């Protein structure tokens, strides 16, 4: 049997019939069922019958016509909004990419609907591939390409944009776009924690919910992922406040320090917003994609060698993930002072993640402020890094920028003691 064959798989009293797809693991078979949904079957103890060879075109293998009937053009529906789907790779994009292959820079509505039939009737689709990488390989220049692609899609008339992205670094990319773009339409990142070849894949529900969110009134950069372990709703997180908090759960993404912006109910397709947001059309489309590359992030832990900070020697910026209210060992403060004197912008965040940096309470903090360290408030450390990269290129006053909310990353000041 080979990927592309039509197969019947029997295992543990269940039978699956469909097209065999490439699997990301050796111990699972992946079968694309009728209707486009993929299922993963444990190879161990599975009986496989090949019903027909090579019926489906996969990564350039020839199709022998079984899906010939599906190649008709999808007609444009004037009554539906146009949603641009931008693929950067990752688990979710693999659904689409099985057919188009890694080298194809465009995909069309047909490809989308073949991969996720549930998207039919919700929008007119445009498709675009910016990258095809696992998101741990995402890099600042790709954030710039992605921002440019989103900009062009909106300029070309997209009523909303869905970015398919690996989950590992989704929060960093979402933050980057939130700083780079002023957007009059929703920009919705979505991904998948379980690939389409897993029985519990979240890719269809996340993609459908993201498209609904992209049609909504919320013109912000959002992340749309499972709200809980069940398949009933996706949460909409502000891109600059979200964090992947679990390695494998489908509801791994959480808004830190606040409730999510809203929720997409999967059955009713209704979207409920629970917080204020920037409305569709409130601002004009604009892009400022410049970034300073030379910014690092250092997480302080007890016993850290002060020489560790040499990494920031000559750098433009340094994010410190301190302890508690924003502290490091007193021995590190003179080194930070030197770096600041040499022109490095040093910004303090907290490894606590929840709550805000407040360096006016204890001696260590006051010494840090005197040394010239800037406080990031409750900005998440990863978001602070992306923001500093952006602010160093685009803000006249970097300190003021780091202490001001530019894209919802810094929440209204709360008094830490009350």
Which positions are catalytic? 91, 167-168, 244
User: If residue 143 lies in a helix (H) or strand (E), which one and from where to where?
Assistant: helix 140-155
Least separation, in Å, of the C-beta of 356 and a second copy? 6
Which of residues 35, 247, 276, 396 is near a second copy by CB under 8 A? Answer: 247
204: closest CA among 108, 118, 110?
118
CA atoms within 13 A on the CB side of 217: 9
Query: Distance of CA 142 to CAs 82, 132, 171, 219, 280, Å?
Result: 24, 11, 14, 22, 26
Using rule CB under 8 A, residue 94 touches a second copy: no
Residues 302-341 as x/- pattern, contact with a second copy by CB under 8 A: xxxx-xx-xx---------xxxxxxxxxxx----------
Number of residues counted as binding a second copy (CB under 8 A): 72
Would you say 96 or 328 has its CB closer to a second copy? 328
In the list 362, 403, 405, 406, the residue contacting a second copy (rule: CB under 8 A) is 362
Kindly identify the residues of this chain, within the stretch 7-26, that bind a second copy according to CB under 8 A. Answer: 24-25
From the CB of 394, what's the least distance to a second copy, in Å?
16
Which is closer to a second copy, CB of 112 or CB of 346? 346
Residues 6+ apart with CB under 8 A from 186: 160, 161, 213, 214, 215, 216, 218, 219, 220, 222, 280
Beta-bridged to residue 10, according to DSSP, are 15, 47
- Bridge-based pairing of strands 221-226 and 233-238 is antiparallel
- Strand, helix or coil for residue 134: coil
200 near a second copy, judged by CB under 8 A: yes
| Residue 363 binds a second copy, judged by CB under 8 A | yes
CA distances from 247 to 75, 193, 194 (A): 40, 9, 11
Would you count residue 99 as binding a second copy (CB under 8 A)? no
Task: Give the contacts of 78 (CB within 8 A, at least 6 positions apart).
Answer: none
| 352 sits near a second copy (criterion: CB under 8 A) | yes
DSSP class per residue in 381-402: HHHHHHHHHHHHHH-SSHHHHH
Q: Say whether residue 290 binds a second copy (CB under 8 A).
A: no
Q: Is 297 in the site for a second copy (CB under 8 A)?
A: yes
Among 32, 114, 165, 198, binds a second copy (CB under 8 A): 198
CB 376 → a second copy: shortest distance, Å? 11
Sign of the torsion formed by the C-alpha atoms of 148, 171, 380 and 384: negative
- Using CB under 8 A as the binding rule, the residues of this chain from 139 to 178 that contact a second copy are 139-140, 143, 167-169, 172-173
CB-nearer residue toward a second copy: 96 or 298: 298
Min dist CB 304 to a second copy, Å, is 7
34, 47, 75, 248: which one contacts a second copy (CB under 8 A)? Answer: 248
Sheet with 82-87, strands from edge to edge, namely 124-129, 82-87, 160-164, 187-190, 221-226, 233-238, 262-265, 271-273
Closest to a second copy by CB, 26 or 75 = 26
Which residue, 66 or 304, has its beta carbon nearer to a second copy? 304
Per CB under 8 A, which region of 56-64, 102-110, 245-253, 280-288 contacts a second copy?
A: 245-253
At 375, list the tokens.
């406080």
- Choosing from 61, 137, 228, 230, the residue that interacts with a second copy (CB under 8 A) is 137
Inter-CA distances, 329 with 141, 301, 320, 368, Å: 34, 9, 12, 10
- Stated as kind and residue range, the H or E segment containing 52 is strand 47-52
Sign of CA dihedral 272, 276, 277, 282: positive
**Interacting stretch for a second copy, rule CB under 8 A, among 12-20, 182-190, 263-271, 350-358?**
350-358
Residue 353 vs 406, nearer CB to a second copy = 353
Q: Which of 46, 355, 369, 411 binds a second copy (CB under 8 A)?
A: 355
Selected range binding a second copy among 14-22, 180-188, 336-344, 356-364, rule: CB under 8 A: 356-364
């Amino acid at each position: 049997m080979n990927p592309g064959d039509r197969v019947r798989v029997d295992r543990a009293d269940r039978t699956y019939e469909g097209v065999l797809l490439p699997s990301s693991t050796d111990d699972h078979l992946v079968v694309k069922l009728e209707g486009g949904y993929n299922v993963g079957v444990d190879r161990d103890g599975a009986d496989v019958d090949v019903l027909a060879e090579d019926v489906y075109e996969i990564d350039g293998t020839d199709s022998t016509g079984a899906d010939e009937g599906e190649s008709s053009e999808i007609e444009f529906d004037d009554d539906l909004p146009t949603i641009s789907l931008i693929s950067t790779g990752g688990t979710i994009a693999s659904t689409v990419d099985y057919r188009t292959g890694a080298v194809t820079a465009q995909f069309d509505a047909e490809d989308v609907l073949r991969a996720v039939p549930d998207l039919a009737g919700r929008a007119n689709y445009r498709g675009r591939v910016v990258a095809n990488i696992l998101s741990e390989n995402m890099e600042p220049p790709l954030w710039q390409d992605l921002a440019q692609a989103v900009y062009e899609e909106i300029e070309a008339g997209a009523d909303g944009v869905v970015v398919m992205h690996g989950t590992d670094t989704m929060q960093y990319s979402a933050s980057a776009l939130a700083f780079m773009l002023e957007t009059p339409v929703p920009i919705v990142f979505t991904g998948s924690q379980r690939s389409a070849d897993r029985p519990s894949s979240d890719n269809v529900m996340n993609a459908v919910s993201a498209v609904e969110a992209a049609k909504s009134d919320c013109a912000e950069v959002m992340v749309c992922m499972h709200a809980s372990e069940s398949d009933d709703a996706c949460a909409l997180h502000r891109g600059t406040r979200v964090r992947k908090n679990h390695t494998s759960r489908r509801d791994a993404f959480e808004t830190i320090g606040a409730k999510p912006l809203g929720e997409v109910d999967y059955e009713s397709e209704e979207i409920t917003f629970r917080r204020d947001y920037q409305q569709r059309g409130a601002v004009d489309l604009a892009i400022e994609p410049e970034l300073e590359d030379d910014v690092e992030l250092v997480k302080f832990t007890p016993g850290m060698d002060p020489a560790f900070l040499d990494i920031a020697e000559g750098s433009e910026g340094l994010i410190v993930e301190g302890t508690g209210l924003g502290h490091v060992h007193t021995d590190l403060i003179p080194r930070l002072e030197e770096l600041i004197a040499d022109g490095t912008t040093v910004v303090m965040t907290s490894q606590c993640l929840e709550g805000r940096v407040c360096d006016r309470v204890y001696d260590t903090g006051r010494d840090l402020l005197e040394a010239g360290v800037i406080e990031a408030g409750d900005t998440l450390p990863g978001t602070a890094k992306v923001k500093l990269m952006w602010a160093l290129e685009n803000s006249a006053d970097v300190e003021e920028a780091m202490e001001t909310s530019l894209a919802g990353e810094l929440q209204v000041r709360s008094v830490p003691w009350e």
